[in-house]
Chains A and B, each alone.
Chain A
Amino acid sequence: QVQLVQSGAEVKKPGASVKVSCKASGYSFISYDINWVRQAPGQGLEWMGWMNPNSGNAGYAQKFQGRVTMTRSTSITTAYMELSSLRSEDTAVYYCARRNDWHSPDYWGQGTLVTVSS
């Protein structure tokens, strides 16, 4: 069965970087884009960007341009999202999600809580 398993919770200081991993299994990793979505406490869902595991190409929401990098390792079927220059407003649960053929996220990771605090 399709599974996306994310890395554990992180606590970071303002100005630091965080790298969240998303291990895919149960399907052909290179055949589906991975998107990243975050959710601040008590807030809605916010799209951050996409990454094509086959080519390594990525596209980012304007809000995160220059601060986010999405990469992958095909040998271990894992996608990564790195966010730099963290500030308190980046405190959120970060999700990876597989995009289906109709541009909708059909499978989601369990989420990774990133807390930014001095």
Chain B
Amino acid sequence: DVQMTQSPSSLSASVGDRVTITCRASQSINSWLAWFQQRPGKAPKLLIYQASTLESGVPSRFSGSGSGTEFTLTISSLQPDDFATYYCQQYNSYSWTFGQGTKVDIK
């Protein structure tokens, strides 16, 4: 099974900060990677799929990059609505794996 290592596990940031979260896959997954935002008590929300494609309706301050084994989610200017937990998810051979999550809170 493909393992996903997400970092950092948590970070503190201020409104307006640029934030970067990384996911590493244990083997190449091409571009089969997605990013999600989850607020407490809510279902995850898809932000980015195919490593860099923005889901419809998601603000353009979110962007994704990478391929193979290294992937990045960037929030260009953190907004109050963005304080949440973020997960990456990979697809390989009919199975999914999620990263451990990154909690973004207010500095």
Contact = CB atoms under 8 A, between A and B. Distances in A.
Asked if A and B are interacting partners, one says yes
B98 A44 contact: yes
B22 interface: no
B98 A46 contact: yes
Interface residues of B, number: 24
A6 to B, nearest CB: 10
Nearest to A96: B43
Contacts of A103: 32, 91, 96
B9 to A, nearest CB: 10
Which residue among A44, A46, A95, A110 has the maximum number of chain B CB atoms within 10 Å of its CB? A44
A49 to B, nearest CB: 8
Contact of B49 (A35, A50, A104): A104
Contact of A104 (B1, B91, B94, B99): B91
> How many A residues touch the partner, as a band?
20 to 34
A106 B55 contact: yes
B1 A62 contact: yes
B101 A102 contact: no
Name the prevailing secondary structure of the A interface residues.
strand
Contact of B101 (A44, A61, A106, A110): A44
A104 B1 CA distance: 17
Nearest to B46: A106
Interface of B: 1, 32, 34, 36, 38, 43-46, 49-50, 53, 55, 87, 89, 91, 94-101
6 contacts: A45-B44, A47-B96, A103-B96, A104-B50, A105-B89, A110-B43
